[in-house]
Amino acid sequence: MPRTTPFQNPQAALLAALLLVSFAVLPVSAATVIDDAGTHVTLNTTPQRIVSLAPSNTEILAALGLTGRLVGITDVCNYPPEVNTVPRIGGYSAISTEKVSAARPDLVIASDITPAETTARLRALGLNVVVVAPRNIDDMIRDIRLVGALTGTDAEAERLAWNLSSRLANLGTAERPAGTRPTIAHVVWNNPLYVSGNDTLQNDVIEHAGGTNAFARVSGWGTVSLEEFLMTNPDIIIVNGGGGMDNETRDVILEDFMTRPQYASLSAVKIHRVYAVKADTISRAGPRIVDATEQVAADVREMTRAESGGSTGLAPTARTPGFCAAGTVLFIAAFVFLVQRRR
């Protein structure tokens, strides 16, 4: 008996046609990831319209060459400069879901600072939301790869992650014995004295740079008294750069430490080991956190060489640009908000 082909059997032909149509319309998954909130997120197509709800995530996207896909960022996203033309959708905790929705994004990248109700509302509107919230430098490098997988920039993400990891490895601080590590305080603000304790990004910076956090006993970010600070007497003091009341280049916290009599007894003040690092560079879990780590590591090397009687061979640590009072208040408010969320 001759074999019947599907086209000679009307029922078989209909079934084959239906299968072809179904395969044609079923989407092929572009990526499936588990975000930093533990949520499985699947994108069926490579996103072309992206909204970022945190400056650190905006910087990751820009470092992957995705600035052109941004259709919405927060009011405090300011780096790199080319993002300044991207429409604004609100602040850290005052995000306009209406503006986000109106931007018609196919991907929204939130953070742990994004209010949970905002994230839920955006998902209820049918938007793809992924939470990218690295807590340390290793998390940040991992999240670069995650964002790369979601956006079809895997190769760029791998190159960036490799570059950042190599720069950290080249610091040569990983094997430094605990007893030889200088104590380092990171001061977020000076009135009151607001420092970075354990379980903070800045604690991770200090450890990668070859130091020990002088206030590791503080949980997260917190205030300490002047007496406690003086008794701790850290070997090196890192302060947030900027903070001027106008647009002049002023590092007001640095100036405070170096000129006010109450700090004169500190060893770091006496021998000029108080350094400013630009505030958003050391506070954002994006690629520039490695820049901050390299700067702190250079300060540690400078101290080590000075104590051994050798020349540092290093240029002085650069002063950082100041920023307006409103920016200062917003920065501190963001830190307080994050501390409260983590507690």
pLDDT in tens, 243-270: 644 344 689 999 999 999 999 999 999 9
pLDDT level of residue 297 (50, 70, 90 thresholds): very high
Percentage of the chain lying above the pLDDT 90 cut: 71
pLDDT, position 306: 81
Q: Is the pLDDT of residue 289 over 50?
A: yes
Cα dihedral sign for 192, 196, 201, 205? Answer: positive
| Entry pTM | 0.81
pLDDT, position 184: 98
31-168 and 174-342: identical CATH topology: yes
pLDDT, position 9: 62
pLDDT, position 93: 79
pLDDT level of residue 30 (50, 70, 90 thresholds): confident
CA distance 204 to 39: 25
> What region, left, alpha or beta, does residue 305 occupy, with left being phi > 0 and alpha being psi -120 to 50 degrees?
alpha
DSSP at 243: B
What phi and psi, each to the nearest 5 degrees, are found at residue 161?
Answer: -60, -40
pLDDT digits (tens, 9 = 90+) for 174-188: 666 667 899 999 999
Least confident of 17-26, 41-50, 59-68, 242-251: 17-26
pLDDT, position 26: 37
Query: In this structure, which topology does domain 174-342 adopt according to CATH?
Result: Rossmann fold (3.40.50)
pLDDT, position 178: 67
List the structure tokens of 340: 């409260």
Residue 142: Cβ-neighbour burial (10 angstroms; 0-12, 13-18, 19+): middle
Cα dihedral sign for 229, 234, 237, 238? Answer: negative
Count of other CB atoms within 10 angstroms of residue 228: 14
pLDDT level of residue 310 (50, 70, 90 thresholds): low
pLDDT, position 157: 98
Could you name the CATH architecture of 31-168?
3-Layer(aba) Sandwich (3.40)
pLDDT digits (tens, 9 = 90+) for 201-232: 999 999 999 999 999 999 999 999 999 999 99
pLDDT level of residue 141 (50, 70, 90 thresholds): very high
pLDDT, position 120: 95
Q: Is the pLDDT of residue 83 over 90?
A: yes
pLDDT level of residue 103 (50, 70, 90 thresholds): very high
Q: Is the pLDDT of residue 158 over 70?
A: yes
- Alpha helices by DSSP H, listed for 43-179, are 55-63, 97-102, 116-124, 137-151, 154-169
Q: What is the mean pLDDT of the segment spanning 36-58? A: 96
Q: Is the pLDDT of residue 299 over 70?
A: yes
Q: What is the mean pLDDT of the segment spanning 107-123? A: 95
**Domain residues of the chain, as ranges?**
31-168, 174-342
List the structure tokens of 136: 């340390």
Task: Give the contacts of 158 (CB within 8 A, at least 6 positions apart).
Answer: 145, 148
Percentage of the chain lying above the pLDDT 70 cut: 78
